[in-house]
């Protein structure tokens, strides 16, 4: 289930707010400029290709492209048997920003976005059918867990993709990781 946990960075061991209510999650994230939606998912084969996935969601993707000026969309998929899963997880675990919005729609599986606002960190465990759009310049990091299993549609303004600008802050090392938060959600 989609979960939002809000931490005070001075007390990172305990979330002061946890909710699984999609309307409340949407409202709390909107208050920070984060777009959060839940789209209806399509029945797709487990081995669906990028083209099949993009075709299944072509209306939603076209709407976002027109509304937000995105130029391209692709699909990223990761499974527990990927031999590079450890390196890929590590790549996204440090706090960073981008010069364009980071948009992901979860076609299957789950992943954990951490969003850093002043003294607060919002940890959003996104699940199948969740769309999250992290505005450019937002301090964040992503944890896919030790056994990643997800497929996401990503949208880009720059066809070359996102370039991470790392903040050098160690905040990501002080908060509970995916294993603690995803396990707590059930």
**Tokens, residue 150:** 């997800």
Q: Is 102 annotated to bind ligand?
A: yes
**H or E segment at 3?**
strand 3-8
* Termini Cα distance of the chain: 7
Q: Is 116 annotated as a binding residue?
A: no
169 marked as binding residue: no
Q: Tokens 């048997």 sit at which residue?
A: 81
Residue 162: phi, psi to the nearest 5?
-75, 145
Query: What letter would DSSP give residue 164?
Result: -
Structure token digits, residue 58: 């072509």
Q: Is 95 flagged in the annotation as binding?
A: no
Binding residue positions for Fe(2+): 96, 98, 102, 140
Known binding residues are 96, 98, 102, 140
Binding residue positions for Ni(2+) = 96, 98, 102, 140
């Amino acid at each position: 289930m989609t979960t939002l946990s809000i931490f005070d960075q001075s007390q990172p061991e305990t979330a002061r707010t946890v909710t699984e209510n999609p309307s409340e999650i949407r409202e709390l994230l909107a208050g920070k400029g984060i777009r959060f939606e839940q789209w209806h998912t399509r029945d797709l084969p487990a081995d669906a290709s990028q083209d099949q996935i993009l075709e299944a969601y072509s209306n939603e993707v076209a709407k976002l492209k027109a509304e937000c000026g995105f130029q391209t969309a692709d699909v990223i998929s990761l499974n527990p048997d990927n031999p590079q899963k450890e390196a890929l997880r590590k790549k996204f675990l440090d706090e960073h920003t981008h010069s364009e919005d980071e948009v992901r729609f979860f076609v299957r599986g789950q992943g954990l976005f951490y969003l850093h606002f002043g003294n607060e960190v919002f940890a959003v465990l996104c699940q199948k059918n969740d769309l999250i759009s992290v505005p450019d310049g937002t301090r964040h990091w992503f944890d896919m867990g030790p056994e990643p299993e997800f497929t996401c549609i990503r949208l880009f303004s720059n066809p070359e993709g996102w370039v991470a600008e790392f903040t050098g802050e160690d905040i990501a090392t002080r908060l509970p990781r995916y294993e603690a938060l995803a396990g707590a959600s059930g």
